[in-house]
Amino acid sequence: MTEKIEMATVSSRGQICIPNDMREEMGLKEGSKVLFLLTDDSIIMKKVNMQTWAEVTKPLKEAMAKTNLKESDVLGIVHRFREKQRAKK
C-alpha cells in the first residue's frame, strides 16, 4: 500500500469525512468498523475486521483435530506450563 496524505475538517458535530480514495483503498463501506488509538497528539485509525467466534476459533479447532488432545486435557497442560514458568524464575 502506498503512503497517502490527505487533510479533512472536523464538523461542529465532531465528524470527519474520510477521503473517498482512502475509503475505497481500505474497503471501508457504510457500517465498517474502525478503531481509534490516541497517543500524545496523534490519532491513529485502523480498519477492524469483525469476525464471528466460529471464524476466530476455526483454525484452533482444525489444529486440535490433527492431535489426540481433548478439550478436557487443556487445563492440565496450562497448569504444567505455568509451573515450569514459575520454576524458571
Q: Is residue 45 within 8 Å of residue 35, measured between CB atoms?
A: yes
| CATH number of the 1-50 domain | 2.10.260.10
Rounded CA-CA distance 80/75 in Å is 9
Q: Where along the chain do the CATH 2.10.260.10 domains lie?
A: 1-50
> Tens digit of pLDDT for each residue in 62-79?
888 888 888 888 899 999
Rounded CA-CA distance 86/3 in Å is 45
> Tens digit of pLDDT for each residue in 23-41?
999 999 999 999 999 999 9
**CB within 8 A of 69, min separation 6: which ones?**
77
Whether 8 shows a pLDDT value over 90: the answer reads: yes
